[in-house]
Amino acid sequence: MASHEPTNDSSATRWWHSAVGYEVYLRSFSDGDGDGIGDLAGLIHRLDHLSALGVDLVWITPFYPSPMVDFGYDVADYTDVHPLYGDLEQFDQLVAAAHQRGIRIVADIVPNHSSDQHPWFVDALTGPDAAHRDYYIWADPSADGGPPNNWVSYFGGPAWTLDAASGQYYLHLFLPRQPDINWSNPAVLDAFDDVLRFWLDRGIDGFRIDVAQALAKDRRLRSNPEISPWNPNGTRFEQWDAFDHRFDVLQPEGPDIFRRWHALVEPYDALLLGETHVTDPSMLAELVPGDGLHVGFWFDPMGIEWSADAVRSTLRGPLAAMSDPRLLGWVAASHDDVRPPTRFGGGDSGRTRSLVFSTLLFGLPGLPFLYQGEELGLLEGFVPIERRADPIAQSRDGCRTPMPWEPGKNFGFSTADRTWLPDGGRDDTDTASWQRSQPDSWFHRYRALVEVRKTEPGLASSDFRWIDDLDPDVVAYQRGDIVVVANLGPEPFPLGRIELGPMSVDFASPGTRAATMLFTTDATGGSTSIDPPVLAPDSATIYRVDPLSA
């Protein structure tokens, strides 16, 4: 893809500053070879859907050789393609086909841990003198013979597994079959430099970095302070939250790894996008200071309730904390979390709320993302217990059911008789083809939102301010000449006079200063377009105010 002049000037405009991202969960996107599992050929076949939606950056979940214990997040070879998904040649075809459409491809890299089948770990297991022993994190048992410290896995249970042959434990912040890699070993840094270069030289446009908060660990492997008694039978979240994670994640050496990667990827003009799971905006600011990761995801929105206060605080916190708001990646959905229309109450009401939330995200500085199916308003898929595939107890299968493409067998996802996960209980109106034929479908509303984001010069402006005090149920902000207003309350909200920095706009007397409605979540325009405008409950509107200068 034609690249801009690479630069180290942190204030410069980079291609991702005006981009809209899209996550493809490859196994469930589109099956090209009829084995019931999504693959690269299927993705190539569906690129036109992504062009029609207007996204310009596609992050693809891991496609590497893997025993698939965690569906590819357990990598056995960082520089090849799993035969289930295709081969390197098809990968090259994908990059070329995407670039032809002006879409950039971002690969998911999983550096915190490998599969236990990775040749490094297979070698490490042969004993303490193995060449790759120090590629992983080993420790002797504690005095009582148990694990070396009290760290727990993100998936629940202790983060240590005993290797009986050597009498040492190895660390795994995820499954026992996902041993953590030792990032304090310089050989590991060199090895991953080669991995990054391998894909960059094949034309990749960036990397989404899995578990970016956790690569560096405390060198002394100190136990974490316990906040509340650890209950090994609690949910994985309860177990994790029992500790103050002072020593296992967010170590001060972490950003140095990404500074090194930053220098490596800059000549390629490639993006480093961190999966940065943190609980506090200040932690995100430390992990993404600007000279390492280019963008870090803020995941707090995945857990909020539907209220103006919750929405306000999840958006305002990170914007206030980051040294540059363009370092923020905005997501409402992912392959790990319950789909937002379901979280926000289900049905069309939940779908509407999800679009209202996305509308707020899409006007903000930072890089907004959609997760496959979000543009179709998909609810969480239903997966009967006997069809569950996720290895962890709080199953993530419901957000991973296959994309519904068109009415008919498997909703067009696959020609196989049995797909790896069931269809989730979709109907014809959920499908991409049906929605593309209906002008007021969810697809067309998301498409319109993407278009506004990409085409309105005001939404590239660094001039951003919150508009406070309109109403406790209303969340609003101004960016350049754009005003975004969302009503999250149960009552209609009539728009009146709004102070915009030194200027003001009075929606109640349009004659005084004109405002053009660019987008509304209300498909019909209905209550949002009457004069004077009234924001319906659970709706959001984007206006351009003209002119803003005196």
| Contact set with ligand TEU (CB under 6 A) | 70, 73, 110, 154, 174, 210-211, 275, 277, 335-337
* Nearest residue (CB) to ligand TEU, 275 versus 423: 275
* Nearest residue (CB) to ligand TEU, 29 versus 519: 29
Least separation in angstroms between residue 215's CB and ligand TEU is 12
The Cα-based distances of 6 to 9, 96, 202, 310, 505 in angstroms read 9, 21, 18, 38, 40
* Nearest residue (CB) to ligand TEU, 211 versus 450: 211
Least separation in angstroms between residue 107's CB and ligand TEU is 14
Is residue 506 part of the annotated active site? The answer reads no
Least separation in angstroms between residue 396's CB and ligand TEU is 7
* Nearest residue (CB) to ligand TEU, 211 versus 403: 211
The Cα-based distances of 1 to 89, 211, 287, 385 in angstroms read 18, 28, 29, 44
Sign of torsion over alpha carbons 464, 465, 470, 476: positive
Give the residue from 438, 418, 434 showing the smallest Cα distance to 426: 434
Contact criterion met (CB below 8 Å) for 98 and 166: no
* Nearest residue (CB) to ligand TEU, 155 versus 543: 155
The Cα-based distances of 352 to 33, 301, 491, 523 in angstroms read 35, 16, 15, 10
> How many H helices and E strands in the chain?
13, 20
Contact criterion met (CB below 8 Å) for 431 and 411: yes
Is residue 266 part of the annotated active site? The answer reads no
Segment holding 92, helix H or strand E: helix 88-100
| Angle, vertex CA 276, rays to CA 421 and CA 102, nearest 5 | 70
Pairwise CA distance, residues 297 & 20, whole Å: 14
| Angle, vertex CA 468, rays to CA 306 and CA 12, nearest 5 | 95
Least separation in angstroms between residue 153's CB and ligand TEU is 10
Least separation in angstroms between residue 212's CB and ligand TEU is 9
Least separation in angstroms between residue 286's CB and ligand TEU is 17
Instruction: Find the catalytic residue in 275, 374, 375, 481.
Output: 275
Instruction: Find the catalytic residue in 23, 210, 248, 473.
Output: 210
Does residue 33 sit in helix, strand or coil? coil
Q: Across the chain, which distance is largest between two alpha carbons, in Å?
A: 82
* Nearest residue (CB) to ligand TEU, 223 versus 395: 395
Does residue 26 sit in helix, strand or coil? helix
Sign of torsion over alpha carbons 345, 347, 352, 358: positive
Q: Which residues are catalytic?
A: 210, 275
